[in-house]
Structure 1
Amino acid sequence: MQSDLRTKLMQALSKANGAFISGQEIAEYIGCSRTAVWKHIEDLRNEGYKVEAVRKKGYRIISAPEKVSTSEIQFGLETKSLGKLIHYQESVESTQKIAHQLANEGAQEGTLIIAEEQVSGKGRLMRSWHSPKFTGIWMSIILRPKIPLHQAPQLTLLAAVAVAQAIEDVTNLQPQIKWPNDILINRKKVTGILTEMQAESDRIHSVIIGVGMNINQQIEDFPEDLQEKASSLFIEGGEQLSRAKVIQRFLVRLENLYTLYLQEGFMPIKLLWESYAISLGQVIKASTVNETIVGKALGITDAGVLLLEDDLGTVHSIYSADIEIQ
């Protein structure tokens, strides 16, 4: 209940677009007393928001703290469903772990789990993910698509496109996607995506998309063994970014693509993914659990499987592998 009131309060202040909105208008909008409005405003101030209050005019937000808290994300959020319910903690083991628990408990589609820091973040193939405090975006979102099980990997590629589009929205950088879901800028990784599924043999209960984005890190923030491979939007673009705004753009892009996908299928998503793909037409080395294949990347199938043609003309289907561009 409290989270619903906070969401409506942020919506009311956001819709005012920097103008004053009276306590009475806010109270009517969110369905509570003016005294309750005042208490919620005080809570915002305690979180670091600068809220101006003028007699007979009302309230307006002057500035927001540089956090990725529920209030900051929801202030100005333009989605219909994604991110309307947010679970925020300053430090967690893993947002994916919390997302699995919430999904099991029936959390609604679009629920966002976000933290300032992960101490046990994980990526693909059970690798750890470096998630330092107040520098990047460490989040997981719960989706409940009514699609066959075999189509679930398509959502990984969809999320990668959403990240690339969001980066273009907030920077002048040109992101590229390395199959299946690494986002690169100048051939250095700035984002990783991990998609996990809860399902029975005949239906999907939930798909949990975990996203780790390097936003404002400087090069010394990365361990030495990552400094040649990883980067951040700040390092590549030279500009500090509002992490909340990046999240808002990602949620809008993800919601638009997800709606398109549910209405029209994977083909429009596939075409968008291929437009960002760095590896198509390139000779790459794919290292799977059982073998290493070198070949030309022809494209992806409707299931998101990478097709590699070797020197003998044999086309290999790559379902999971480490990819190196030769």
Structure 2
Amino acid sequence: MSLTKQQSDTSAHDLDSQLVQRLADGGFHSGEQLGLEFGVSRATIHNHIEKLTTLGLDIFRVTGKGYRLAKPIQLLSSDKVRIKLPHELRELPLYLNHVTGSTNDDIRSIITNGTTPGTSVLAEMQTHGRGRRGKQWHSPFGSNLYLSIYWPLLQGLNAAMGLSVALGLAVAESLTAAGIQEVSVKWPNDVYIQRKKVAGILVELEGQAGGEGQAIIGIGLNLAMQDTEASIDQPYTSVMAHLDKPLDRNWWASELIKRCIDRLTVHDQQNLKGLLDVWREYDHFYQQPVRLILGQHEQIGVGKGIDEFGALLVQQSDGLKRYFGGEISVRNATT
């Protein structure tokens, strides 16, 4: 009986995942061995190894020994992530993909009327990760965290105001709790360490203005990003560069899920009212000269924090102004 195209695609995806898990130990594995283990030919193994190489995995082959990764990879495990969560969160739906287009798109495809708030998707790699204003989010395999969370907006889309700010603080507090210094949040959705970007947040909203809606929240956190990624057009850093102990990717995944769900729950109840002082501690632009770019127009002023709805407050020559997200880009006035 022949496989349908969908079944064939699923089988190919499963074999990719199985190979990654087998090679993760950094040891040699022969094509013949792998073929016997997974019930396919050596040629099929070779083809899938080539595919994984094109996705950025550093795999090499030695005649007589087989295939191996240049270095071992600590793979994510949904079970290991779940067990590190607080007891009340361990039953939340949690999905893990080795290679996917976008975790936000994955969440979108599984949402139904009964989807549990806090349902999460993790991935080892995204081939079409995206950031704010349609920018590509560079997502190499097994280096970082790519996480998406579903959250309902029972009070309508207006209830999403300030969500990215609350979530940026959740990421920043995770970094600080791990002992990392000089953490800041750049309004409305980027997190920095020593003024270099380490994380980004993308909140995508769906629903009608007058009714209930939903937020699909994507978070990318650089855990072990190499400093040779030429495709990134701004200064960046990684968590590992600022830790003096081994990095546990599964712990970081559980930490982000826990803190983000906590912030989302509080935000539902009181917007950002209880976070304004916390924001000032992390505000990348507080009391700094800023330049706001709105399409072809620019505004100059001094950053004065945010209000309870997440609007950026800027002191300008004609008074204190409020700016919301969307297509606004904020930079230091000197750059």
TM-score normalised according to structure 1 size: 0.74
The CA deviation string for residues 54-105 of structure 1, in whole angstroms up to 9 with x for no partner, is xxxxxxxxxxx82223112112211523772111110011111111222256
Give the distance between the partners of 2:298 and 2:80, measured in 1 at CA. Answer: 46
Note the 1:55-94 alignment, pairs <5 A.
66-78=74-86, 80-81=88-89, 84-94=92-102
Question: Could you tell me which residue of structure 1 aligns to residue 329 of structure 2?
Answer: 322
Percentage identity across paired residues of the two chains: 23
2:194 to 186, 192, 205: 186
Q: Give the deviation of 1:274 after TM superposition.
A: 2.7
Aligned pair 1:283/2:284, yes or no? no
* Contact 1:118/1:138 (8 A) holds in 2: yes
Q: Give the deviation of 1:153 after TM superposition.
A: 2.6
Q: Give the deviation of 1:152 after TM superposition.
A: 0.3
2:318 to 304, 313, 321: 313
The CA deviation string for residues 37-62 of structure 1, in whole angstroms up to 9 with x for no partner, is xxxxxxxx99989xxxxxxxxxxxxx
- The alignment yields a C-alpha RMSD, in angstroms, of 2.5
| Paired residue secondary structure (1:193) | strand
The CA deviation string for residues 147-206 of structure 1, in whole angstroms up to 9 with x for no partner, is 342230321111111101111222333310011111001100000000011112322331
The runs of 5 or more residues in structure 1 that have no matched partner are 1-44, 50-64
| Paired residue secondary structure (2:221) | strand
* Contact 2:157/2:214 (8 A) holds in 1: no
Give the distance between the partners of 2:213 and 2:256, measured in 1 at CA. Answer: 23
Report the residue type matching 2:277 in the other structure: L
Give the distance between the partners of 2:230 and 2:184, measured in 1 at CA. Answer: 23
| Paired residue secondary structure (1:115) | strand
Give the distance between the partners of 1:293 and 1:83, measured in 2 at CA. Answer: 47
Aligned pair 1:231/2:237, yes or no? yes
| Paired residue secondary structure (2:133) | helix
Aligned pair 1:197/2:205, yes or no? yes
Note the 1:288-299 alignment, pairs <5 A.
288-299=294-305
Question: Could you tell me which residue of structure 1 aligns to residue 161 of structure 2?
Answer: 153
Question: Could you tell me which residue of structure 2 aligns to residue 118 of structure 1?
Answer: 126
TM-score normalised according to structure 2 size: 0.72
| Paired residue secondary structure (1:158) | helix
Q: Give the deviation of 1:132 after TM superposition.
A: 0.5
Q: Specify whether residues 201 and 260 from structure 1 end up closer, same or farther in structure 2 by C-alpha distance, changes over 3 A only.
A: closer
Report the residue type matching 2:240 in the other structure: F
Give the distance between the partners of 1:199 and 1:258, measured in 2 at CA. Answer: 18
Q: Specify whether residues 47 and 245 from structure 1 end up closer, same or farther in structure 2 by C-alpha distance, changes over 3 A only.
A: farther
Q: Give the deviation of 1:239 after TM superposition.
A: 4.8
* Contact 1:285/1:325 (8 A) holds in 2: yes
The runs of 5 or more residues in structure 2 that have no matched partner are 1-20, 26-72
Give the distance between the partners of 2:129 and 2:22, measured in 1 at CA. Answer: 29
* Contact 1:157/1:181 (8 A) holds in 2: yes
Note the 1:237-256 alignment, pairs <5 A.
237=243, 239-256=245-262
Q: Specify whether residues 123 and 79 from structure 1 end up closer, same or farther in structure 2 by C-alpha distance, changes over 3 A only.
A: farther
Question: Could you tell me which residue of structure 2 aligns to residue 128 of structure 1?
Answer: 136
The CA deviation string for residues 268-323 of structure 1, in whole angstroms up to 9 with x for no partner, is 1333223211201110111112411111112212221112222x234333223111
Q: Specify whether residues 271 and 147 from structure 1 end up closer, same or farther in structure 2 by C-alpha distance, changes over 3 A only.
A: farther
| Paired residue secondary structure (1:280) | coil
Q: Specify whether residues 46 and 232 from structure 1 end up closer, same or farther in structure 2 by C-alpha distance, changes over 3 A only.
A: closer
Q: Specify whether residues 302 and 237 from structure 1 end up closer, same or farther in structure 2 by C-alpha distance, changes over 3 A only.
A: same
Give the distance between the partners of 1:313 and 1:260, measured in 2 at CA. Answer: 35
Q: Specify whether residues 217 and 81 from structure 1 end up closer, same or farther in structure 2 by C-alpha distance, changes over 3 A only.
A: same
Q: Specify whether residues 219 and 284 from structure 1 end up closer, same or farther in structure 2 by C-alpha distance, changes over 3 A only.
A: same
* Contact 2:153/2:159 (8 A) holds in 1: no
